[in-house]
Amino acid sequence: MSGATATAGAAHPALTRALSLSERILAAAEGADLELVASLDAERMRLLKSFKREQQLSLANREVLGQIMALNDRTVGLLEHRKRGKGREMDMAAVGRRAVAAYASVRMQR
């Protein structure tokens, strides 16, 4: 666990668990395990929905929610970066297929 989780002592247990899941989600995203990301995210969503927000959030709960948001932002950024990379790979593969097809058609004409 990160040092961030240690500050969650007085926070609501659902939020503390959601923070722990957020750390695991980021690790799964770094390992490109998208199935685990989706599974953990669904579990985290259930926890966040179960949290009955107080009229005024305690400082501990606000801190944990902020940490969850920061981890989520990092995870989304990482996944977006991977998505763009895969898109570039697909584009390059398509260029290669077109080049092979063009070469094959010119070669057949000879």
pLDDT digits (tens, 9 = 90+) for 32-82: 999 999 999 999 999 999 887 765 678 999 999 999 999 999 999 999 998
Please report, rounded to a whole number, the percentage of residues in the chain having pLDDT higher than 70: 85
Cα–Cα nearest to 18, from 48, 58, 54, 42: 48
Mapped onto helix, strand or coil, the DSSP state of residue 29 is helix
Helices 13-30 and 34-50 cross at an angle (nearest 10°) of 170
The single residue listed with the structure tokens 């990301």 is 37
Kindly report the average pLDDT of the chain as a whole number. Answer: 85
pLDDT at 27 over 50: yes
pLDDT at residue 97 tops 90:
no
Q: What is the mean pLDDT of residues 14-23?
A: 96
Q: Is pLDDT above 70 for 29? A: yes
Domain ranges of the chain: 3-83
Task: Note the pTM of the prediction, 2 decimals.
Answer: 0.69
Determine the pLDDT at residue 67.
97
Q: Is the pLDDT of residue 100 over 90?
A: no
- In total, the chain counts a number of residues equal to 110
Residue 110 confidence (pLDDT): 58
Range 42-51, long-range pairs (CB < 8 A, 24+ positions) = 44/18, 47/14, 47/15, 47/17, 47/18, 47/21, 48/14, 48/15, 48/18, 50/14, 51/12, 51/14, 51/15, 51/18
Cβ proximity of 14 and 68 under 8 Å: no
